[in-house]
Amino acid sequence: MSHRFRHLLAIEPLTREQITFLLDQAKPFQEFQRYPLKKLATLRGKTVALAFFENSTRTRISFSTAASRLGADQMNLQAESSSLKKGESLSDTVLTLEAMKPDAIVIRHGSSGAAEFISHRVDVPVINAGDGTHEHPTQALLDALTIRDRSRSFDNCNITIIGDILHSRVARSNVHLLSKFGAHITLCGPAMWLPRELDSLAPGIRRVPRLEEALDGADVIMALRIQQERLHEPSLSADEYILRYQLTPSRVRLAKSNAIVLHPGPMIRGLEIDPVVADSLQSCILEQVTNGLAIRMAILFELIAGSAEPQEQAKDSPHAAH
């Protein structure tokens, strides 16, 4: 089957084969991050537009660095200073960007469905860098790469995701990805943050409100960022969240002894995660960041150069530049 991608909007519609293909494509780029000279000419002459309508540090830097390391130029849309503030519609802003002829548009937006909306209006590949509470496909792919690298096969792997699942596009994309591969997923958090709709995705998905029970036998533990503004009396105070859901060393010991810990960042030490856990050998948090570069390089390469003629592609492959 063809693995060709026009856009990367979500994990949900992708097949296992397409996901595996993207993870495999990231392999050489993972190795590349260790090279002393981190510059390829693969996308020289191409331009990546970064349209971030929502604040972002790591995802934006990651896409920008990935584009630079492939040799691409960038166009940056700063949400605060853009004409959006002057009342321009999302559609007009993106069409204006497109008129400057980028070869791909990476978009982050606070509204669920924004990336797909844009993909129907432009002729270039669109990459979703997070849309509202919907999906964050590159995050789930980099998480999968990290899990696979620590020699966990997804099949029958026990994965516990902790926190505000309801508002988390990271959780949603991960649930879609991991359930396609037969992982056993446990969602844990305050009842008001555990969406029912995700249970129906795959037979293995459980909702477990008590963290101690949710961690029992886990191979992979994923703590989500908690938005402090969502923690308030009378529903749930920060102290209560910490007491019941913070990932502490004693709780991590309830999981398998070789369990790994993931967090998409930005992480709040002392809230969702104890600093001892964040800095432990079981923590893969910084590996996730490095893998983010590799997966984003692979995706930019695939969407921009992947549509080139095979001969042209071979000449421009990442391996050819070294």
Give the shortest CB-299-to-ligand NCD separation in angstroms.
14
Among 225, 255, 261, 291, interactor with ligand NCD by CB under 6 A: 225
Of 102 and 264, nearer to ligand NCD (C-beta) is 264
- Per CB under 6 A, 170 contacts ligand NCD: yes
Give the shortest CB-288-to-ligand NCD separation in angstroms.
8
Encoded one letter per residue, x for contact with ligand NCD by CB under 6 A and - for no contact, window 245-264 reads -------------------x
- Per CB under 6 A, 189 contacts ligand NCD: no
Of 61 and 314, nearer to ligand NCD (C-beta) is 61
Of 234 and 266, nearer to ligand NCD (C-beta) is 266
What length is written for the chain?
A: 322
Residues 125-154 binding ligand NCD (CB under 6 A) are 130, 136, 139
Among 25, 59, 160, 173, interactor with ligand NCD by CB under 6 A: 59
- Per CB under 6 A, 296 contacts ligand NCD: no
- Per CB under 6 A, 58 contacts ligand NCD: yes
Give the shortest CB-313-to-ligand NCD separation in angstroms.
30
Residues 299-318 binding ligand NCD (CB under 6 A) are none
Of 7 and 169, nearer to ligand NCD (C-beta) is 169
Please give the residue whose beta carbon sits closest to ligand NCD in the complex: 225
- Per CB under 6 A, 64 contacts ligand NCD: no
- Reduced 3-state DSSP string for the chain: CCCCCCCECCCCCCCHHHHHHHHHHHHHHHHHCCCCCCCCCCCCCCEEEEEECCCCCHHHHHHHHHHHHCCCEEEEEECCCCHHHHCCCHHHHHHHHHHCCCCEEEEEECCCCHHHHHHCCCCCCEEEEEECCCECHHHHHHHHHHHHHCCCCCCCCEEEEECCCCCCHHHHHHHHHHHHCCCEEEEECCHHHCCCHHHHHCCCCEECCCHHHHHCCCCEEEECCCCHHHCECCCECHHHHHHHHCECHHHHCCCCCCCEEECCCCCCECCCECHHHHCCCCECHHHHHHHHHHHHHHHHHHHHHCCCCHHHHHHCCCCCCC
- Which residue ranges make up the site for ligand NCD (CB under 6 A)? 58-59, 130, 136, 139, 169-170, 225, 264-265
